Amino acid sequence: MPHKKPFVVIVVLLLLITIVQYSFSFSPGAVSVYSRCIFYPFQYLRNNLFSIVTVSVGDILYILASIMLIVLLGRWIYYLAKWKTHRQLLLRSLLRFFLSAGIMYLWFFAGWGGNYAKPSLAEHWQMPLGRDLEQDSALIQFDLFLIARLEEYAPRFKGRPFRETEQLCRDNYYHIPATAAKARLTRIKPAVFGNLLEYSGIQGYYNPFTGEGQLNAQLPDFLSPFVISHEMAHQMGIAAEQDANLLAYIACTESGDADLRYSAYLNVWLYTNGKLRGRDSTLANEMRARLNPVSRRHLEVLRARHRKYRSPVSRLSNLFYDNFLKLNQQERGLESYEDVVNTAYAWEQKRLRGDRSPGSIP
């Protein structure tokens, strides 16, 4: 049978994927070996290789893959229309597609997916989250804390071009003992998709196939330091979105630079005030009214951008990514981003006790 060999290969790939997934789910040792022996060397190699060019190689590959997929769908439709004479060609094409998909999944898992099995940073650092923020008083207290920090750093915020900000964020990770050794794995590039990212609501993203981190080049300068630091956290092997947010928050707020601090406090305030709005919109508006004039202007910029680029594309993008996260052991999907409210609050409580240094990064 001409299709027997690729079919057997597909079955073997499925068995291999199942075994790998099972071993990672139940063996912390396998995750540790993966990090040390596969992900970190692979990420270091990719980062050095693709840093040679300033354009995002991953974005180009995504574009080419999209074109190939469209062509392939057209071919399948043609084969279906000619079913009697082309069914063998259709079967062969489908087998090749599933074979390629299996290989790509193994590439994805080796280059990134294994990181989803790591413990959360809060768990790894034995950082108690408690139930404080379930009380409105604690949430209001944290909102007011962030507002005070914004008022402190807003007058010193100046904004920087992308490349300067990117270098500053990488240097900042070098100065934190817990991340110094892994900072060499980081480099962020502007995405090539332009305004398409505006309509999809994407601020930045990590490419699991090339190891590149991309930033929406149109992102306002008061958001970009935190988002860049978030994507760099992914490049250092932090998979969960709430953990990447937490590490970005810690790194930026430990920095001596006002832009990094302001960006972190503003981003986390947006999550915090949004959580408060879900409970009491009137109270959330009262907190918003306490913001300094600089921060209020920045919120106006965000509202104007939201009105300008509001579209069904963002809803489709969110739906896709929400399901992607849930398939990769992040049960809360997109809602996991806002968990930084709990972890950042717990981190500030830890700072109050005099502990300002994060532990090792898993």
* 96-112: pLDDT as tens digits: 888 888 888 888 888 88
4 — pLDDT class (breaks 50, 70, 90): low
Q: Which amino acid is at 332?
A: R
Per-residue confidence (pLDDT) for residue 25, from 0 to 100: 64
Mark whether 14 and 147 lie in a shared domain: no
- Single residue among 61, 95, 117 that ends a domain in this structure: 117
Mark whether 102 and 185 lie in a shared domain: no
> For residue 2, is pLDDT > 80?
no
73 — pLDDT class (breaks 50, 70, 90): very high
Per-residue confidence (pLDDT) for residue 1, from 0 to 100: 47
> For residue 321, is pLDDT > 80?
no
Mark whether 176 and 199 lie in a shared domain: yes
What is the pTM assigned to this prediction?
0.90
Query: In this structure, is residue 331 part of a structural domain?
Result: yes
Mark whether 79 and 136 lie in a shared domain: no
> For residue 239, is pLDDT > 50?
yes
Per-residue confidence (pLDDT) for residue 158, from 0 to 100: 92
Per-residue confidence (pLDDT) for residue 122, from 0 to 100: 85
259 — pLDDT class (breaks 50, 70, 90): very high
Mean local confidence (pLDDT), 86-95? 86
Mark whether 111 and 169 lie in a shared domain: no
Mark whether 102 and 131 lie in a shared domain: no
> Is there a contact between 132 and 230 (Cβ–Cβ < 8 Å)?
no
DSSP single-letter state for residue 39: I
Mark whether 228 and 310 lie in a shared domain: yes
> For residue 3, is pLDDT > 60?
no
Mark whether 15 and 131 lie in a shared domain: no
Query: In this structure, is residue 73 part of a structural domain?
Result: yes
315 — pLDDT class (breaks 50, 70, 90): low
Of 179 and 326, more confident: 179
> For residue 72, is pLDDT > 90?
yes
Mark whether 131 and 112 lie in a shared domain: no
- Single residue among 117, 138, 171 that ends a domain in this structure: 117
> Is there a contact between 121 and 343 (Cβ–Cβ < 8 Å)?
yes
Of 122 and 231, more confident: 231
Mark whether 166 and 94 lie in a shared domain: no
Query: In this structure, is residue 44 part of a structural domain?
Result: yes
- Please state, rounded to an integer, the average pLDDT across all residues of the chain: 86
> Is there a contact between 184 and 177 (Cβ–Cβ < 8 Å)?
no
Mark whether 138 and 54 lie in a shared domain: no
> For residue 328, is pLDDT > 60?
no
* Residue in the block written with tokens 């956290």: 233
Per-residue confidence (pLDDT) for residue 200, from 0 to 100: 79
Per-residue confidence (pLDDT) for residue 314, from 0 to 100: 63
Q: Which domain holds residue 298?
A: 121-352
Query: In this structure, is residue 358 part of a structural domain?
Result: no
Query: In this structure, is residue 247 part of a structural domain?
Result: yes
> Is there a contact between 132 and 249 (Cβ–Cβ < 8 Å)?
no
Torsion of CA 267, 272, 276, 278, to 10 degrees: 70
Torsion of CA 161, 162, 165, 169, to 10 degrees: 180
Q: H/E element holding 189? A: strand 188-190
The three-class DSSP label of residue 210 is: coil
Query: In this structure, is residue 182 part of a structural domain?
Result: yes
Instruction: Determine which of 311-315, 330-334, 350-354 has the lowest per-residue pLDDT on average.
Output: 330-334
Query: In this structure, is residue 92 part of a structural domain?
Result: yes
Number of domains in the chain: 2
Q: Which amino acid is at 287?
A: M
Q: Which amino acid is at 92?
A: R
User: Tokens for 306?
Assistant: 């939201």
Mark whether 315 and 330 lie in a shared domain: yes
Mean local confidence (pLDDT), 137-141? 88
Per-residue confidence (pLDDT) for residue 332, from 0 to 100: 60
Q: What is the 3-state secondary structure (H, E, C) of the chain?
A: CCCHHHHHHHHHHHHHHHHHHHHHHHCHHHHHHHHHHHHHHHHHHHHHHHCCCCCCHHHHHHHHHHHHHHHHHHHHHHHHHCHHHHHHHHHHHHHHHHHHHHHHHHHHHHHCHHHHHCCCHHHHCCCCCCCHHHCHHHHHHHHHHHHHHHHHHHHHCCCCCHHHHHHHHHHHHHCCCCCHHHHHHCCEEECCCCHHHHHHCCCEEECCCCCCEEECCCCCCCCHHHHHHHHHHHHCCCCCHHHHHHHHHHHHHHCCCHHHHHHHHHHHHHHHHHHHHHHCHHHHHHHHHCCCHHHHHHHHHHHHHHHHHCCHHHHHHHHHHHHHHHHCCCCCHHHHHHHHHHHHHHHHHHHHCCCCCCCCCC
Helix, strand, coil percentages, rounded to 5, for the chain = 75, 0, 25
For strands 213-215 and 204-206, give the pairing: antiparallel
Among candidate residues 196, 241, 218, 235, the one with its CA nearest the CA of residue 51: 235
Query: In this structure, is residue 175 part of a structural domain?
Result: yes
- Single residue among 117, 150, 167 that ends a domain in this structure: 117
Per-residue confidence (pLDDT) for residue 77, from 0 to 100: 93
Mean local confidence (pLDDT), 152-165? 95
Among candidate residues 2, 12, 15, 13, the one with its CA nearest the CA of residue 91: 2
